[in-house]
Amino acid sequence: MKAQSFTATIKKGSKELYLSSGQDTIAKNGAFVKIGKNEICYQIESYTSLNIKKKFEAHFDHLLLKGDYSNKIFPGDSAKLFFNETEAVYISKILKSPPKAAINDIFEFRGGETNGQAASVKVASLNADGTIQEVYIESAGKYITPPESHVLASNNSGDVIEIQVDFDSRAETSIFERDFDIVDSKHGKTYLHMNYPFPNEIKEGDLTLSKKVIILDREYGGESEFNALCQTTSDFSPINKIPLMPPHCLTPHAIYNKGIEAIDKRLLELEKQITRLKNRN
């Protein structure tokens, strides 16, 4: 016998049971699911997936989404957060060189807002007078806001070089993951309060969130449940399809009651058949 436990959210009057993000169940269509403290078992009619991708504004301890997503994103959900980063891709011109430099000298970029790593260039060759002839990118850097295209860079000795740099989006972007403690919605906006703050330097980005959705056989009649502990059972008796109680069942009485309902229904059908046979005679 197979039983699975998971947490999920459903609103009163809905047929959609949203599993918490990152959770799954392999119960087949037709299996029964017990939702929270509700004593009634519901049958799984089908499954679907919810995949959300939205632009967000970051405000230190919360994210702001345009639109009302309070019926799809719930406390306890987790999302992946992407944001644009740029990097140095090409040194187009050396505008100013210190009087003397050395091969392999490294100059680190000044300015811009980094995500922990500034770009740098290394001296590749010198002119006859000792000034820098050519440099190449030693480290492309990670920038939330890059410096202006005319960049000042300095080495450990304090010498400064001015170069013209082309920046472009990074192919590999950083990804943050955050859980949401509180989800509020008002005036057409959704506020996602995070379990710990977001870097102050990041002001906007993209949110992705995926979760599985169970479609029930009928509308949920209980009070709305948020992150409720749920359990499925997929095993039935071979003849009359009476639900069987799985090991370590969270609510054995709910499965028992559902079995009694199935037996009662079957007995009623048999009584009707017997009555019809008697009437023929």
* pLDDT, tens digit, 9 for 90 and up, residues 47-58: 999 999 999 999
Q: Is residue 22 part of a domain?
A: yes
Q: Compute how many other C-beta atoms are within 10 angstroms of the C-beta atom of residue 250.
A: 13
Indicate the average pLDDT of the chain: 87
Q: How much of the chain, in percent, has pLDDT values that exceed 90?
A: 52
Q: Which of helix, strand or coil describes residue 216?
A: strand
Q: Which pair of structure tokens corresponds to residue 181?
A: 């403690």
Asked if 67 and 138 sit in the same domain, the reply is: no
Whose CA is closest to 104, among 165, 47, 155?
155
Q: Is residue 26 part of a domain?
A: yes
Q: Which of helix, strand or coil describes residue 259?
A: helix
What amino acid is encoded at 209 in this protein?
A: L
Asked if 196 and 159 sit in the same domain, the reply is: no
Please compute the mean of the pLDDT values over residues 233-245 and round it to a whole number: 59
Asked if 78 and 60 sit in the same domain, the reply is: yes
Confidence of residue 280 (pLDDT cuts 50, 70, 90): confident
* pLDDT, tens digit, 9 for 90 and up, residues 145-161: 899 889 999 999 999 99
Q: Which pair of structure tokens corresponds to residue 102?
A: 């050395």
Asked if 72 and 114 sit in the same domain, the reply is: no
Q: Is residue 276 part of a domain?
A: no
Q: Is residue 209 part of a domain?
A: yes
Asked if 260 and 179 sit in the same domain, the reply is: yes
What distance in Å separates the CA atoms of residue 134 and residue 146, rounded to the nearest whole number? 22
Q: Which of helix, strand or coil describes residue 34?
A: strand
Q: Name the DSSP class of 130.
A: S
- This prediction's pTM: 0.66
Asked if 78 and 90 sit in the same domain, the reply is: no
Asked if 117 and 36 sit in the same domain, the reply is: no
Q: Is residue 40 part of a domain?
A: yes
Model confidence at 66: pLDDT above 60: yes
- In which domain, by residue range, is 128 found? 86-169
Q: Is 260 exposed, middle or buried (0-12, 13-18, 19+ CB in 10 A)?
A: exposed
Asked if 94 and 157 sit in the same domain, the reply is: yes
Asked if 94 and 213 sit in the same domain, the reply is: no
* pLDDT, tens digit, 9 for 90 and up, residues 245-256: 555 555 566 666
Total domains, the chain: 2
